[in-house]
Amino acid sequence: MDTMPFPEPEAPELERYWLYSKFEIDALISRLCDDRVPMTVYWGTDGEFAVTQIMKVDGARNEVHFDLPNQPQLQTQLLEAAELVCVSFVENIKMQFTVGAPRRSSSGGYPTFLAALPERVLRLQRREYYRVRIPETLAASCLVPFAGDGAQYESLRVLDLSVGGLAVLAYPRHFDVSLANVVDRCYLDLPGVGTVTVGMRIAHVETSADGQTRRCGCEFVDLSPQARMMLQRYVHKIDVAQRHRHGPRKVA
């Protein structure tokens, strides 16, 4: 099971995992509080975060109090954030929700910050690999070895990507492989995150009408934990950029 701490992007594939019932939401938030479950809160466009936990749930006021980080710089950044994306895990089930307009407060003599209870909570038990389209502002590329020649590489444009695989635009004269073939020692450049070394299994090939290009769908093979985390971080950066461009999702 994938237990990456980064927030899940807004994706239609995850809609069925969102809870909207106030009764269920209050019960889940109260459990996170009672069990003092560690929680990571994210904000901003660069993946800023802090570790906290829920200290108090005030159902009458529809508020939740979180432990305030000790570092003054983190306190300032967190309290100035327009919204916070909160992620935690309970018995290997990922919980995620968003709160807005955090405010400084106190609870039981301890410094906290408070926000309104969320209107929905993501409860994700089984990871599903959804793909995100790569915007030009965060364009990724993948260096793959020429067919039959591991000493030369071709740079391919990445069309879409997930933690489980990607699609690239390829040219048969160099990157000419068959279905189910595994291509090792590929170098995936993720802007703002770094370079990831991956192996890829060719899962789907679609040739253009003129035969000049191919869209290759690939599955990652034996990803290291570090590579998986970097991929998830890049997917998160894309989601943050898209949310800032299109605005927050409206909840009916």
Q: Are strands 83-90 and 93-100 parallel, antiparallel or unpaired?
A: antiparallel
Q: 214 Cβ partners below 8 Å, 6+ apart?
A: 169, 170, 171, 172, 175, 205, 206, 207, 208
Kindly report the backbone phi and psi dihedral angles of residue 239, in degrees, each rounded to the nearest multiple of 5, phi listed first: -65, -40
Identify the band that residue 181 occupies on the pLDDT scale cut at 50, 70 and 90: confident
pLDDT tens-digit map of 70-129: 999 999 999 999 999 999 988 768 899 999 999 999 988 899 999 999 999 998 864 445
Q: Which residue has the higher pLDDT, 133 or 70?
A: 70
Who has greater pLDDT, 126 or 41?
A: 41
Contact 177, 203 (CB under 8 A): no
pLDDT at 204: 81
Mean pLDDT over each residue of the chain, to the nearest integer: 84
17, 20, 24, 27 alpha-carbon torsion, rounded to 10°: 100
Confidence of residue 151 (pLDDT cuts 50, 70, 90): confident
Burial of 96 (0-12, 13-18, 19+ CB in 10 A): buried
- Global pTM? 0.55
Q: Is pLDDT of 159 > 60?
A: yes
How many Å apart are CA 167 and CA 169, to the nearest integer? Answer: 7
pLDDT of residue 122: 94
Residue 57 clears pLDDT 50, i.e. is over it: yes
Kindly tell me if the per-residue pLDDT of 252 is higher than 70.
Answer: no
pLDDT above 70 as % of the chain: 85
Other C-beta atoms closer than 10 Å to the C-beta of 87 total: 19
Instruction: Count CB atoms within 10 A of the CB of residue 104.
Output: 12
List the structure tokens of 195.
């370079």
The residue extents of the domains of the chain are 12-124, 132-245
CB 83 within 8 A of CB 96: no
The residue with greater pLDDT, 80 or 152, is 80
Contact predicate 99/118, CB 8 Å: yes
Task: Give the model's confidence band at 18: pLDDT under 50 very low, under 70 low, under 90 confident, else very high.
Answer: very high
pLDDT of residue 243: 67
**Statement: residue 249 has pLDDT above 50:** no
* Neighbour tally for 235: CB within 10 Å: 25
- CATH code given to domain 12-124: 2.30.110.10
What would the CATH number be for the domain defined by 132-245? 2.40.10.220
- DSSP label at 250? P
Is the pLDDT score of 216 beyond 90?
A: no
Burial of 159 (0-12, 13-18, 19+ CB in 10 A): middle
Q: Tokens for 228?
A: 């998986």
Lowest mean pLDDT segment, chosen from 34-43, 60-69, 88-97: 88-97
pLDDT above 70 for 238: yes
